[in-house]
Structure 1
Amino acid sequence: MKPAPRKIALIGNPNSGKSTLFNQLTGLRQKTGNFPGVTVEKKSGTLRLPFPAHSSASDETLVVAEAILIDLPGIYSIYPKSRDEQVAMDILANPQHPDHPDAVVVVADASNLQRNLLLFTQIADLGLPTVLALNMLDVAESMKLKVNAVQLAMQLQVPVIKINARSGDGVDLLREAIQRVAVTERLVPAYFLDPAEKQPEIIEEVKTRYQLENNYLALQYLCQHDSFTFLNQGQREQLDGLITKYAFDKTDFLANETITRYERLRPLVQKTVTSQGDSEQPAWTRRLDKILLHPVWGYVAFLMVLLVIFQAVFAWAEYPMDWIDQATANAIQWTKTTLPQGVLNDLLTDGLMAGIGGVIIFIPQIAFLFGLVGLLEESGYMARVMVIMDKLMRKFGLNGRSVVPLISGVACAVPAIMTTRSINNPYERLLTILVTPLMSCSARLPIYTILIALVVPDDTVLGILNLQGLVLLGLYLLGLIGALGSAWLFSIFVPRREPSYFILEMPTYKWPRWSHLGITMYDSVKSFVLEAGKIIVAISIVLWVLASYGPGDSMEQAEAQTMKEMSDAPEQVREAAVASAQLETSYAGRFGKFIEPAIAPLGYDWKIGIALITSFAAREVFVGTMSTIYSIGGEASEDAVTIRQRLEKERNPQTGGPMYTPAVSFSLLMFYVFAMMCMSTLAIVYRETHGWKWPMVQLVYTMVLAYVSAWATFQLLS
C-alpha cells in the first residue's frame, strides 16, 4: 500500500538560501497558490524520498515515494511581526492545519550561525522532528570561519547536514536525513530551553485544557493566542483568564527567553565555529559596497543597471519576437487558405489564433525581464538598492522596504501588493499599496513594445544604446516618478499615527544559481501564458463574436451600401471597405462609437476605445484586442500580416494619414503608464485593505492621472 504523502516544512531566516534550496529539492515539480484562508502566497513542491515499502519493522525494503515540501515564509523567530510571518506559526502550532508538517528542515546561514540558531532552537522546542541544513559555508569560509558540523550535531542532538543550496552539494544527504527523521525514527529533539523550568503550573494547566504534549507549544498558546487563527474567542478569553490567574507577564518572559537562548547558544557556537583570521567581509566586497551604497554613485549604478536591463529586453528579444510574429501570421494565413471558408474558419483564425498570437509573441521579453530581475535578487544587489533608496523613499512618506513592492511591481502588481505585509507600519503600507500599480508591470510591456516599435526608429545612440530601449527605460522611470509623486500627495492627506524604522540584514554578494534563474524564467512565462493568456484568448474570442455580428440586418445593409458605393473600386480595396463598414455596425463597433466622444480629445477612435474597455480585464489584452479588430476589419491580402503591420496600415478616416501617429502612440503610452486597467489589482487591494474605499480611491486617481497625461501629450505633439 502506498504511504500517505509526508509533509516537510522548509523554514529559515531571510537570505539564508531557503528559496534556493526549495528549488534545488523540487526542481520544476512545484506550484504556487495561497495558504488556506489567507492571501499569503504558498509555494509547495514534490520531494522524492525513500520510504518503507511495508509497515513491518523487520522489512527494510524502501521505495521512492513523493513527499510534499512546503516553503514557509522567511522569519527570524517564531514571534511574528507581520501577517506573512504569522502564517508560519499558524501552521507549526496547529496539528489540524492541512499543511502541518511531519518534519521541519531549518536552513541556517553558516556565516551568521548564532543568530540563525535562535530560530532553530525555537522550532526544535515545538516538538517537531527537525533537521538543520547548514548553508552558505562558502561565505563562512570567505570570512575565515570554519564550522564543525559533527560537533554541532552532537551539541544539538539533531542531524546537521552541510549543503550548498546553489550548487546542490549535500542535497542527497539532506534527503536521507529527512527520510530518517520524518519516517524511520521520528526523531524529536530534546528541549533546548524548557519553559516549564520557570512556569510549571500555568504550562501544565494549558497542556491539560488543550490536550497538548509539548511545553513550549503550550507557552505559545499563552503568548500568541490573540493572533492564532485556529482559536475561537472563547478559547482566547480562557487563556486570558489563565494569564491573570497566574500573573503571567508575557513581555518579561519573552525578553528573558531570548536572552537565555543567546546565552546558551554562545558557548555552543564557540565550540563549533573557529575563526582562522580576519572574519570581516572580503576586501572586494567592501570596495564594491563603497560604490553601490554611495549616496551619488549608488543611484548612478542603479540607473545603469536598469538601462542594461531594458536594452537587453529590446535587443536580445527582438529576433525571437520577430520570428514568432511572422510564424503566427503565416500560420493564420495558411489556416485561412487551407480550411473551407465560413464562420468556423473566421473564428479559428481571426478569433482564436489571433488571440494566441497576441500572447506568445511576448514570451521572449517576459523571460528576459524576469530573468534579469531575478539575477539582481540572487546576486544580493537588490538589498543594496533598498538601502540606498530608503533616504529617498522617506521624503515621499515611504521607507526602504517599500522598494521591494515597487520593484516587484515591475513584474506584477498583484504579488507586489501582497509583499507589503512585510511593512510593519500601517501608514507606509497603505501608501505603498496605493502607488504600487503605477509601476510599469510586465502586462504593460506588450503595449509599450508594439507602440514604441511603431513610432520610435530602431537607431542607436552613441553607437551602443538602442533608442527604443531608452524610450522603454523612460516609461519605466516615468511610472516610478508617478508612484513617488502620488505617495507624496497621499502623505499630505493620510495621517501618520506612528513612527517607522528601517532595519535590513545585508546579504553577501554571490554568484547566481543559473538553474534557479531558469526556474524563475520558466515560472514567469508559464504564469503569463496560462493566466494572462487565458484572459487574452477568451476576450479575443468574445470580441470576435461582438465584432462579427450586429443587431438585425445592419451588417448586411452596411455591406450592400458599401458595395454599391465602391462598385468601381478594385476588388481588394472593396473587400477591405466592406469589412471596415461591417465592423463599424457590429455590436463592438457600436459600443466603440458610444464612448468615442469621451476619448476623441486623446486622439483615439472607436476601435481604440474597444481595446481600452477590454483591457480593463488585463492590460495586456490591448494588443490581442487590436490584433483581433484589425484581423476582422483590416485589409484583405494573401500575404501574411503581422500585428505591427496591421497597426502600421491602419488609416485615420478624417485625415487619410496613419492612425498611429507619434501623437496618438505616445498618448496611448502615457495613458497606460498611469491607468489602473487591471481588475485583479483592484481585487487584491480590496482584500488587503478590507473594503472598497481605497480600491475606489486608487481607481479614480489613476484614471484621472492617465486621462490628463494622455490628453496633454496628444495636444503637445499634434
Structure 2
Amino acid sequence: MSKLPKIALIGNPNAGKSSLFNSLTGLNQKTGNFPGVTMDKHTGIWELEPNSKVEVLDLPGIYSIYPKSIDEELVINILGNPAHPDYPDMAIVVADASNLKRNLLLFSQVRDLGIPTVLALNMVDVAESQGYVINSIKLARELSIEVAEINAKKGIGVNGLRLAVEKTLKNRYASNDALPLPVGEDLLADITAQFGEADPYRSLLWLMEHDRMKMFSDEQRMGFDRLQEKHRFDAKSYKTSETVKRYEALSEIVERCVINLNRQWDAPPVKTMTDRLDKFFLHPVGGYLIFLGILFLMFQAVFTWASYPMDAIDGGVAQLNDYLKGILPPSALTGLLTDGLIAGIGGVLIFVPQIAFLFFFISMLEETGYMSRVMFIMDKLMRRFGLNGKSVVPLMSGVACAVPAIMSTRSIGSWKDRLITIMVTPLMSCSARLPIYTVLIALVVPEKSTLFGMFNLQGLALFGLYLLGFFMAILSAWVMKQLLQVKEKSYFIMELPTYKGPRFKHMALSIYNSVQAFVFEAGKIIVAISIVLWVLASYGPGDSLASVEQTVRQANPTLSETALANKVAAEKLEQSYAGHFGHFIEPVIKPLGYDWKIGIALITSFAAREVFVGTMSTIYSLGGEVDDENATIKNRMRAEINPETGKPLYDAALGFSLLIFYAFAMQCMSTLATTYRETKSWKYPTIQFLYMTALAYLSAFVVYQVLS
C-alpha cells in the first residue's frame, strides 16, 4: 500500500483550524501521540477524489515558528526536520480573515521553510461584517500561492480548497531562497558544511532554535553555539528584526489586497455582536455572576435531565440480572455472568447519559466562544493565588478529565507556574467522579425542589461539589506558591474569538468521542475489576465458605427463606478473600465512618475513581439484604444497616464524608502516570498522591465527626 500524502493544518489559535479538520475528515479520524511525545495527535483521512486520499494532521495552534511553549516546540520539531515521521508534504495555513496581517506572519514563515503551502482564508464573512473586503485572487498573486476562501464552521468552500490542494500537490510551489532579513553568506556556508542543510531559512531556524529541537545531539548543539560566537550572531535580535521586517512587507500586501470600507466612507468602526455581548460577559462583576449562573444551570440540567435514562438503564440491568438468574441453573458461571460481568457493565452504562450531557454543555461553551471569555475573566483571580493566567485552561479542562488537562499545561512558559498547575488540577471534579457523586447524593440528599420549585436540591449539591474542588485547587495553589517562593508575576495573553452559533455536527462528534472513551477506556477497567472482585468475593481461604449456610440457618431458625438467603450471602461475602481484606484495612477507615465493604471499594477505585460504583454494585449484588430481587444499586445501598446503631448505614454523616473524600482524593493511576510523564520525575506524582490523600482523609474525618 502506497503512503498517503501528508497535509499539516497550521494556524493561529482560534483561527478555525480544528473546525476545518473536522469538516475535512468527519469520523475518519483518530487520536494518538506524536512520536516520542505524550501529546494528543489528531490525524484523519480526507478523500480529495473517489480514488485519491490524503492524510491530514491537525497541529497545535501557534503564532510563530519561534516557540515560547511546548506546543510551539512540537510544531517546529516537525516543520524544521524533513526526517521527522510527521513532516508534511504540504501545509494548509488557516488564517482568520478578520485579522489577516497577523495571521499572515505565520504563513510567511511556513512558506519560507520550503513547504508547499495553501492559504485558507477563514471567517471571510466576519471580516466583511467589520467592513473589510479581501481580494483573494490578488492576494494569491502577491503571495505566489493558492488561496481558498472557506467557512470552517459551516463547511463552505471545501471544494475550492480541494482544488487548491490538488494543484499545489501537483506543482509543489516552492518558496524563494531570499531571507526576510539577510545574514552573512559565510555563516550559511558554515551551517551547510557542518550540518548539511542548504535551505537558508531552515538553516537559520536550526541556528536560532537548536536548543529546542530534539533532532540534535548535545555535541551538535554545542556546534551551533560555537557558530553563533564565531559570527557574533544574536538570535534574539535577529528574530525581533525579522518579525518587524515581515510585518512591514505584509502590511504593504494587505494594503493592496484588502479594502477597508470604514475608512473609504469615513465611517466609524463597526460595533459587532461580539462587542455588544462582551460588555456583559466580560463585566468585572457581572461576568463572574453570569459564569456562576451558567455553571449552576449546567449541573442542574446534568442531574435532572440525565436521571430519566439513568433510571431506565439501572432498572433494565437489574431486570436482566433477575431474568438470567431465573432461566439459568444456579452455578458459579451464572454468578460470574450476572453478579460479575453484567453488574460491571451496568456500572459503566448507567453513567453514559450524564457523561453525554456534561460534554454537551462543555462543547456548547467551547463552540460558541464563551469558554475563552471564562479564561479571560478568571485570569485576574488566578494570578492572586500563584497560578499563571494560562492555568485557567487546564483547570477548566479538568472538569472533563485531568489527563489531557495536565498535558495542556505545556502552554505555560514558567516552570514553577506549570508545576503548581499540574499539582492542583486533579482537585477539579472530573467526569470520573460524576458516577460517585450521583449515587451518594441520591442516598443522602432529598430528591425535591426548592426556591419556588425551580431548582433540585440534588443538583445544588452537585454544583457545590464542583465549586468545592475549584476553591480547594486555588487554595492549594496559594500554599504551593508560598512553599516554592514564587515571586515573578504571571501574564496571560490570548485572543478572544468571535461568538458563533454551535456546530451541532462537531458537538455530536465531541460527545461521541468522549462517551466512547469512557465506555471503552474506563469501562474496560471497571468491568475487569468487577470480575476480579466477584472472584475474590465468591471464594475464601480454606473451607471457610462451606459451612456458612449451615451456621447461619442454625443461628436464625425463625427467618424467612428470602431473609435467610440474604443473610447467608452477606456472611459469605464477609468470609471471602475480599471480606478478609476489607476487615484488614477497616481500622484505618473506621474513624471516617466506613466499614469493610466501603474499604474494598476504596482500594479497587485506586485504578480509576469511577470503579467505586462498579465495586459497590458487585458487593451489594453478592451480599445485599433487601427482599426485592430487582433492587438497584441505590436501593441496596440505601437498605444497608449499620450493625452498631441499627440505623441506615448511609446517613448524612457517612454520605457527605464519602463525597468529600472522593472530591479530594487522588484515585486515578492515569493521572499519576501523566504527572510523571510531564515532570520527568516520580517525586512530583508521589507528592501529589500523598498530599491529596492526606487532604481527603482529614477532610472526610472532620465532616463525619461533625455530622455524626
TM-score normalized with structure 2 length: 0.97
Partner of 1:97: 84
Deviations 1:194-250 (A, max 9, x none): 258433222233234333342111111111111110111222222222222222221
3-state SS, counterpart of residue 282 of structure 1: coil
3-state SS, counterpart of residue 196 of structure 2: coil
3-state SS, counterpart of residue 546 of structure 2: helix
Partner of 2:701: 711
Counterpart amino acid of residue 614 in structure 1: T
Q: Cα distance, 1:281 vs. partner?
A: 5.7
The question of whether the paired residues in 2 share the 8 Å contact of 1:5 and 1:66 is answered with: yes
The question of whether the paired residues in 1 share the 8 Å contact of 2:133 and 2:261 is answered with: yes
User: Comparing 504-513 with 300-309, which one deviates more in the overlay?
Assistant: 504-513
Alignment equivalent of 1:356, drawn from 345, 353, 378: 345
3-state SS, counterpart of residue 337 of structure 2: helix
Query: What is the CA–CA distance in structure 2 between the aligned matches of 1:180 and 1:336, rounded to whole Å?
Result: 65
Alignment equivalent of 1:373, drawn from 362, 365, 368: 362
Partner of 2:292: 303
Query: What is the CA–CA distance in structure 2 between the aligned matches of 1:660 and 1:498, rounded to whole Å?
Result: 48
Answer yes or no: is 1:502 the counterpart of 2:502: no
The question of whether the paired residues in 1 share the 8 Å contact of 2:383 and 2:490 is answered with: no
Answer yes or no: is 1:412 the counterpart of 2:401: yes
**Aligned residue runs from structure 1 range 272-311, under 5 A:** 272-277=257-262, 280=269, 282-311=271-300
Query: What is the CA–CA distance in structure 2 between the aligned matches of 1:473 and 1:188, rounded to whole Å?
Result: 55
Counterpart amino acid of residue 20 in structure 2: L
Answer yes or no: is 1:682 the counterpart of 2:668: no
Partner of 1:113: 100
Alignment equivalent of 1:514, drawn from 493, 504, 519: 504
Query: What is the CA–CA distance in structure 2 between the aligned matches of 1:279 and 1:401, rounded to whole Å?
Result: 34
Question: CA 1:279/1:332 → structure 2, altered by over 3 Å: closer, same or farther?
Answer: farther
Query: What is the CA–CA distance in structure 1 between the aligned matches of 2:353 and 2:136, rounded to whole Å?
Result: 44
Counterpart amino acid of residue 234 in structure 1: E
3-state SS, counterpart of residue 225 of structure 1: helix
3-state SS, counterpart of residue 335 of structure 2: helix
Partner of 1:625: 615
Deviations 1:394-442 (A, max 9, x none): 2111132111111111001111111111111112111111111110000
Counterpart amino acid of residue 617 in structure 1: A
Partner of 1:30: 29
Query: What is the CA–CA distance in structure 1 between the aligned matches of 2:645 and 2:601, rounded to whole Å?
Result: 22
Deviations 1:357-412 (A, max 9, x none): 00111111111111211211221111211221111112111132111111111001
Partner of 1:57: none
Answer yes or no: is 1:217 the counterpart of 2:202: yes
Q: Cα distance, 1:519 vs. partner?
A: 0.9
Partner of 1:131: 118
Query: What is the CA–CA distance in structure 2 between the aligned matches of 1:188 and 1:522, rounded to whole Å?
Result: 40
Partner of 2:454: 464
Alignment equivalent of 1:394, drawn from 359, 376, 383: 383
Counterpart amino acid of residue 255 in structure 2: Q
Alignment equivalent of 1:441, drawn from 426, 430, 455: 430
Partner of 1:585: 575
Counterpart amino acid of residue 654 in structure 1: E
3-state SS, counterpart of residue 35 of structure 2: coil
Listed as ranges, the gaps of 5+ residues in structure 2 are none
Q: Cα distance, 1:469 vs. partner?
A: 0.8
User: Comparing 121-130 with 637-646, which one deviates more in the overlay?
Assistant: 637-646
Q: Cα distance, 1:17 vs. partner?
A: 0.7
Deviations 1:548-573 (A, max 9, x none): 11110011132321122123321111
Query: What is the CA–CA distance in structure 1 between the aligned matches of 2:672 and 2:270, rounded to whole Å?
Result: 44
3-state SS, counterpart of residue 3 of structure 1: coil
Q: Cα distance, 1:497 vs. partner?
A: 5.6
Partner of 2:5: 6
User: Comparing 228-237 with 615-624, which one deviates more in the overlay?
Assistant: 228-237
3-state SS, counterpart of residue 242 of structure 1: helix
Query: What is the CA–CA distance in structure 1 between the aligned matches of 2:311 and 2:62, rounded to whole Å?
Result: 45
Query: What is the CA–CA distance in structure 2 between the aligned matches of 1:279 and 1:668, rounded to whole Å?
Result: 59
User: Comparing 477-486 with 455-464, which one deviates more in the overlay?
Assistant: 455-464
3-state SS, counterpart of residue 226 of structure 1: helix
Counterpart amino acid of residue 84 in structure 1: D
User: Comparing 600-609 with 205-214, which one deviates more in the overlay?
Assistant: 205-214
Answer yes or no: is 1:594 the counterpart of 2:584: yes
Q: Cα distance, 1:616 vs. partner?
A: 0.6
**Aligned residue runs from structure 1 range 146-157, under 5 A:** 146-157=133-144
3-state SS, counterpart of residue 555 of structure 1: coil
**Aligned residue runs from structure 1 range 191-270, under 5 A:** 194=179, 197-270=182-255
3-state SS, counterpart of residue 239 of structure 1: helix
Query: What is the CA–CA distance in structure 1 between the aligned matches of 2:596 and 2:336, rounded to whole Å?
Result: 22
Listed as ranges, the gaps of 5+ residues in structure 1 are 51-62
Query: What is the CA–CA distance in structure 2 between the aligned matches of 1:585 and 1:281, rounded to whole Å?
Result: 76
Query: What is the CA–CA distance in structure 1 between the aligned matches of 2:47 and 2:493, rounded to whole Å?
Result: 38
The question of whether the paired residues in 1 share the 8 Å contact of 2:626 and 2:636 is answered with: no
Query: What is the CA–CA distance in structure 2 between the aligned matches of 1:689 and 1:237, rounded to whole Å?
Result: 25
The question of whether the paired residues in 2 share the 8 Å contact of 1:143 and 1:279 is answered with: no
Query: What is the CA–CA distance in structure 1 between the aligned matches of 2:455 and 2:628, rounded to whole Å?
Result: 37
**Aligned residue runs from structure 1 range 176-191, under 5 A:** 176-182=163-169, 184-190=170-176
The question of whether the paired residues in 2 share the 8 Å contact of 1:142 and 1:282 is answered with: no
Question: CA 1:258/1:279 → structure 2, altered by over 3 Å: closer, same or farther?
Answer: farther
Q: Cα distance, 1:97 vs. partner?
A: 1.2
Query: What is the CA–CA distance in structure 1 between the aligned matches of 2:222 and 2:181, rounded to whole Å?
Result: 22
Query: What is the CA–CA distance in structure 2 between the aligned matches of 1:238 and 1:390, rounded to whole Å?
Result: 41
Query: What is the CA–CA distance in structure 2 between the aligned matches of 1:264 and 1:709, rounded to whole Å?
Result: 61
Give the share of equivalent positions with the same residue, in percent.
56
Counterpart amino acid of residue 327 in structure 1: G
Q: Cα distance, 1:177 vs. partner?
A: 2.1
Q: Cα distance, 1:638 vs. partner?
A: 6.8
3-state SS, counterpart of residue 407 of structure 2: helix
Deviations 1:499-520 (A, max 9, x none): 3222221221111211111111
The question of whether the paired residues in 1 share the 8 Å contact of 2:181 and 2:242 is answered with: no
The question of whether the paired residues in 1 share the 8 Å contact of 2:10 and 2:58 is answered with: yes
User: Comparing 318-327 with 469-478, which one deviates more in the overlay?
Assistant: 318-327
Query: What is the CA–CA distance in structure 2 between the aligned matches of 1:592 and 1:420, rounded to whole Å?
Result: 38
Query: What is the CA–CA distance in structure 1 between the aligned matches of 2:106 and 2:225, rounded to whole Å?
Result: 26
Q: Cα distance, 1:286 vs. partner?
A: 2.5
Q: Cα distance, 1:279 vs. partner?
A: 7.5
The question of whether the paired residues in 1 share the 8 Å contact of 2:181 and 2:245 is answered with: no
Query: What is the CA–CA distance in structure 2 between the aligned matches of 1:478 and 1:501, rounded to whole Å?
Result: 26
TM-score normalized with structure 1 length: 0.95
Query: What is the CA–CA distance in structure 2 between the aligned matches of 1:551 and 1:281, rounded to whole Å?
Result: 79
The question of whether the paired residues in 2 share the 8 Å contact of 1:104 and 1:128 is answered with: yes
Partner of 1:56: none
User: Comparing 207-216 with 706-715, which one deviates more in the overlay?
Assistant: 207-216
**Paired residues, number:** 703
Q: Cα distance, 1:283 vs. partner?
A: 4.7
Query: What is the CA–CA distance in structure 2 between the aligned matches of 1:645 and 1:179, rounded to whole Å?
Result: 62
Alignment equivalent of 1:547, drawn from 534, 537, 542: 537
Counterpart amino acid of residue 75 in structure 1: I
Answer yes or no: is 1:328 the counterpart of 2:313: no
Answer yes or no: is 1:648 the counterpart of 2:633: no
3-state SS, counterpart of residue 133 of structure 2: strand
Question: CA 1:74/1:101 → structure 2, altered by over 3 Å: closer, same or farther?
Answer: same
Query: What is the CA–CA distance in structure 2 between the aligned matches of 1:572 and 1:469, rounded to whole Å?
Result: 36
Alignment equivalent of 1:604, drawn from 580, 594, 597: 594
